[in-house]
């Protein structure tokens, strides 16, 4: 029995000694601080990507990357921050570095394509999207596919991609607005009007869709404001849009009347409408 106890004690001592040889108390404390620093850094990076000033976030990620240029999460954070800061040309370069690192995802490639579209590099965006397998079916991917097809005037593909994108999001107002604008540029004014109306039903605050709806009606020489929930300022702005549409199509008297309504409706001085009205009155 004593031999068994002695053996157990020796084994326990050996294990303890082995543990001591592997890690001193000082090393254990240092490792604990490293773990805390990793957690703190992750939290800081998240803050930088969401609530921090975009340019401050850019500085943070660039500084952090100097010590760890191989970390794709930091390179990705830099690219996202540059987009938030509207520094799109720099963002393209940052995304290209991201997609060249180990651990790249299809979402990173979508980020690059998005940045390329923002800089007008439609061919580059198409090439980037072609590197994403067709099995990666997301709203973000098909939204960009639709925009690229639009730029190439490939209307059949554009409509197909817009339709898929609408089905992949619970908040389709913005993509419906984009689709409607695509129809507007093609001269399909009735379908554009329908899509803008659908977008507004989904999001009553989307003023861009309201303005586009008025443009599509004006293109059909329908100069009556649609029934919408509007502030006085919005109503005046839409009247101004209708007026310009009427004037562009040669209905100058109608446009002049709409400008007068816009000036009278706006709760403050409506400089753009007032200048347009003065220009008409002076011939």
- The residue whose two tokens read 């409506």 is 270
Judged against a pLDDT cut of 60, whether residue 22 lies above it is answered with no
Domain containing 88 — which CATH number?
A: 1.25.40.10
How many structural domains is the chain composed of?
Answer: 1
Tell me the per-residue pLDDT of 105-159, one tens digit each, with 9 for 90 and over.
Answer: 999 999 999 999 999 999 999 999 999 999 999 999 999 999 999 999 999 999 9
pLDDT at 275: 94
pLDDT at 19: 43
Weakest-pLDDT range from 24-28, 101-105, 117-121, 183-187: 24-28
pTM (2 d.p.): 0.80
Tell me the per-residue pLDDT of 29-71, one tens digit each, with 9 for 90 and over.
Answer: 344 434 444 446 667 788 888 767 999 999 999 999 999 999 9
pLDDT at 36: 42
Give the mean pLDDT of the chain.
Answer: 88
Judged against a pLDDT cut of 50, whether residue 234 lies above it is answered with yes
pLDDT at 24: 57
Domain assignment present for 97: yes
Q: Residue 207 CA to chain centroid, in angstroms? A: 17
Domain assignment present for 194: no
pLDDT at 52: 74
Domain assignment present for 108: yes
Q: Mean of the pLDDT values across residues 178-189? A: 97
Domain assignment present for 174: no
Domain assignment present for 180: no
Domain assignment present for 85: yes
Domain assignment present for 111: yes
Domain assignment present for 112: yes
pLDDT at 23: 53
pLDDT at 14: 41
Burial 108-121 (b: 16+ CB within 10 A, else e): bbbbbbbbbbeeeb
3-state secondary structure the chain: CHHHHHHHHHHHHHHHHHHHHHCCHHHHHHHHHHHHHHHHHHHHHHHHHHCCCHHHHHHHHHHHHHHCCCCHHHHHHHHHHHHHCCCHHHHHHHHHHHHCCCCCCHHHHHHHHHHHHHCCCHHHHHHHHHCCCCCCCCHHHHHHHHHHHHHCCCHHHHHHHHHHHHHCCCCCHHHHHHHHHHHHHHCCHHHHHHHHHHHHHHCCCCHHHHHHHHHHHHHCCCCCCCCCCCCHHHHHHHHHHHHHHHHHCCCHHHHHHHHHHHHHHCCCCCHHHHHHHHHHHCC
Q: Mean of the pLDDT values across residues 5-32? A: 45
User: Residue 117: which domain range?
Assistant: 51-131
245 Cβ contact partners less than 8 Å away, ≥ 6 residues apart: 214, 215, 218, 219, 223, 255
């Amino acid at each position: 029995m004593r031999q068994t106890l002695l053996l157990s004690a020796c084994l326990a001592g050996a294990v303890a000694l082995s543990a001591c040889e592997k890690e001193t108390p000082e090393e254990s404390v240092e490792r604990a601080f490293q773990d805390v620093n990793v957690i703190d850094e992750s939290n800081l990076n998240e803050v930088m990507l969401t609530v921090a000033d975009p340019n401050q976030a850019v500085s943070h990620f660039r500084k952090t990357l100097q010590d760890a240029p191989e970390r794709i999460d930091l390179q990705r954070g830099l690219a996202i921050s540059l987009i938030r800061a509207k520094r799109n040309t720099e963002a393209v370069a940052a995304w290209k570095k991201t997609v060249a690192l180990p651990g790249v995802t299809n979402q990173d490639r979508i980020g690059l394509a998005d940045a390329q579209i923002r800089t007008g590099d439609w061919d580059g965006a198409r090439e980037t999207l072609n590197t994403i397998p067709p099995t990666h079916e997301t709203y973000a991917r098909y939204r960009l596919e639709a925009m690229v097809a639009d730029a190439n005037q490939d209307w059949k593909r554009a409509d197909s991609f817009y339709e898929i994108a609408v089905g992949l999001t619970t908040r389709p107002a913005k993509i419906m607005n984009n689709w409607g604008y695509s129809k507007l540029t093609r001269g399909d004014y009735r379908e554009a009007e329908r899509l803008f109306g659908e977008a507004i039903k989904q999001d009553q605050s989307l003023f861009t869709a309201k303005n586009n709806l008025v443009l599509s009606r004006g293109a059909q020489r329908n100069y009556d404001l649609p029934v919408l929930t509007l502030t006085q300022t919005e109503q005046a702005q839409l009247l101004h849009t209708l007026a310009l549409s009427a004037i562009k199509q040669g209905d100058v008297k109608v446009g002049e009347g709409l400008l007068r309504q816009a000036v009278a409706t706006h709760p403050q001085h409506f400089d753009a409408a007032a200048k347009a009205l003065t220009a008409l009155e002076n011939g």
